[in-house]
Amino acid sequence: MSEAVELDPAEAKMWITVTINGSKGTYLVDQRLTLADFIRKQVGLPGTHLGCEHGSCGACTIIMGDKAVRSCLLLAAQADRESIETVESLAEDGVLSPLQEAFHANHALQCGYCTSGFLMSLVARLREGPIESEAQAREALSGNICRCTGYTGMVAALMSLPTPNGQSGGAQ
Ligand code: FES
Ligand code: FES
């Protein structure tokens, strides 16, 4: 019969250095701490939400490097020497970003629980190029789940964004 492995508490922690919303910091983290729990509880940024906690709903989406990622599926240790962005980075001095304004103006949220994940997924997508059609908007929204408001307002919000050529569908 195999014996239970006892973890040495001193070895179950590690130091990570991570840039969060432009501020670089060093943190002592439990090696098994998820990135979502690190952001919410240790860093104190509660805008990243947890829904399913197994990679399906997208509520926990943040940007790491230049990619939208599910923070419930990553460990804080995996963010070592990375740069991450959370929903708290979008508004500046209390002024909403164009994407947040578009969500507000088009009634693109109801309870809002899913919204931070949608916003961060869309920020990453819009950095790749403008969203120029409803089909592209629906594709951009397809990785996240909203349980209460439906997607029509979010599509309208994306179609209302200005593009570099003055048409709708583009800026963050
Ligand atoms: S909480 Fe991470 S994908 Fe649902
Ligand atoms: S607005 Fe409630 S889950 Fe999306």
- The predicted model gives 84-104 an average pLDDT of 97
CATH 1.10.150.120 fits 98-160, yes or no: yes
Residues of the chain with CATH 1.10.150.120: 98-160
Residue 38, SS3 per DSSP: helix
How many angstroms does the Cα of residue 104 sit away from the middle of ligand 2? 13
Continuous H helices in 28-114: 35-37, 98-105
pLDDT reading at 101 higher than 70: yes
pLDDT reading at 9 higher than 90: no
Q: What percent of the chain has pLDDT over 90?
A: 86
CATH 3.40.50.300 fits 13-87, yes or no: no
DSSP 54-78: SSSS-TTEEEETTEEEETTSSBGGG
Ligand 1-lining residues (CB < 6 angstroms): 50-53, 55-60, 70, 72
Q: Indicate the pTM of the whole model.
A: 0.91
Residues of the chain with CATH 3.10.20.30: 13-87
DSSP 129-145: ----SHHHHHHHHTTS-
Per-residue pLDDT tens digits for 110-152? 999 999 999 999 999 999 999 999 999 999 999 999 999 889 9
Atom in ligand 1 nearest the alpha carbon of residue 57: 4
